[in-house]
Amino acid sequence: MTRPEPPAPWAHLPFFHDTWPALWQRLEAAPPWAPAPDRLFRALALTPPAAVRVVILGQDPYHTPGRATGLAFAFPPGTPPRDSLRNILIEAAADTGATPNPELTGWARQGVLLLNTVLSVPLGQAHGHKGWGWEALTEQVLHHLAATGPRAFLLWGAPAQRLCRALPRNGHLFVESAHPSPLSARRGFFGSRPFSAANRWLAARGQAEIDWSA
């Protein structure tokens, strides 16, 4: 396998010089994992730093073969949404009337960064690459975004909220709720209305709203 190159607008982050070469060697020697190598940095490639307006954090990719797309929570074309994504789509419809495409590329192209905390996962083993070094990239992305302009952070669940605890609060929007997983969606995700909250904040700043139906 050829080591994927970082998307140019993000290549300045220390992760790509300090951590990525050794992490790639470890991935090359590991059992099958997802997503495909050319999709590892897909979220960053679709949404460069200057375009980011909203940040949504996932945990790690789907570990079911063929399901991980490189975008947090997204499903591949032709695959009926389940689990967390199904609940996200339910809340988007209730909140804004939107009927999003489960691929979520329309969100990414409008400036919604759909970033997992860990960008790879062994097939059939959730969280199997946790602690391998991906977390350094996520932290660097978040701190870079927080330092370079106002953003809306939609933080679903305690892990995402912990990751953003050290970010400066001034100028940004933070919308926190329970995670959309089937185990917790009814404990505060449903009814949290994160999509309309982000759009109100964007509109107040004179920016175009996100078309959550895209």
What residues are annotated to the active site?
60
Instruction: State the greatest distance between any 2 C-alpha atoms of the chain, in Å, as a whole number.
Output: 49
How far the first Cα of the chain sits from its last, in Å, is: 34
3-state secondary structure of 58: strand
Angle between helices 83-96 and 194-204 (to 10 degrees): 50
Q: Contact 158/184 with Cβ under 8 angstroms?
A: no
If 0-12 CB within 10 Å is exposed, 13-18 middle and 19+ buried, where does residue 44 land? buried
How does strand 173-177 pair with strand 152-156?
A: parallel
Q: Contact 30/60 with Cβ under 8 angstroms?
A: no
Tokens 């070469």 label which residue? 21
What CA–CA distance (Å, rounded) separates 135 from 78?
Answer: 31
